[in-house]
Each structure stands twice: as structure tokens, then as C-alpha cells.
Amino acid sequence: MDIPPEALCRLDDIPDGTAVAVDALLPDGPENLIVLREGEDARAWVNVCPHAGRRLDWAPGQFLISRGALICAVHGASFRTSDGCCVAGPCRGQSLRPVAVRVERGIVWLAGP
């Protein structure tokens, strides 16, 4: 099934419990996003670690996820997958920048206008 160009991705393209990187046009400009699947739901954050401003993926679109935490491949900061808050590492207490998304008919969309 093809998806509309304004959609982020198909939910089925993300194995449950993992994340992918997608490009999106946000109100303040283009960003690369982390889209995490949890069952039939998805969460998203801007793919920038608050510690050093670098992407979190260890290879393009590949993320380390362990014990409910998304781990920055550069300095090892661990962010809870439930809310993006850093619970270990050099930016403890800071958070990933959330991006509101919704899932409709198996497609992940930006939520909002």
C-alpha cells in the first residue's frame, strides 16, 4: 500500500518495540524524526540529543532500544520511550523534543494543523 506524501510512514513498516527515522516538515522547518512503535500506537521526537545536538541513531535510521530506553549512540544517554526524558547519561533530566503524531488506518501522521 502506498502512503500519501504528507504521511510519515506506515505503522507496519516499524517492527513493534523499535523505531525508524523519517524526515518531516514541521512548522519551524524540516527535521529528522524518531518514530517509535508500541503496539498500534506511535510516539515521535526530533532526532537530536539534547547533550551535544547530534542524531541518536547508530546508523542511518537504526536505533538502540533496551529496557524501555532509547539510547544515544554517541554518548550513551538513555531516554525513556514513554516520554523522552533522559534518565541516564550526560544530559540526565533533559528531554528529547516531542512531536505529536497520530495513527489512522495504519498510517502515522503528524498531529495538528
Largest CA distance in the chain: 42
Q: Is 102's pLDDT higher than 90?
A: yes
pLDDT in tens, 22-50: 999 999 999 999 999 999 999 999 999 99
Domains of the chain, by residue range, sit at 9-108
- Between CA 60 and CA 88 the distance in angstroms is 23
CATH topology of domain 9-108: Rieske Iron-sulfur Protein (2.102.10)
Q: Is 1's pLDDT higher than 60?
A: no
Backbone angles phi, psi at 12, to 5 degrees: -65, -15
Q: Can you say whether the dihedral through the CA atoms of 63, 99, 41, 24 is positive or negative? A: negative
Instruction: Classify 12 as helix, strand or coil.
Output: helix
Q: What is the pLDDT of residue 6?
A: 83
Sheet containing strand 9-10, strands side by side: 9-10, 107-110, 101-104
- Between CA 53 and CA 13 the distance in angstroms is 27
pTM of the model: 0.93
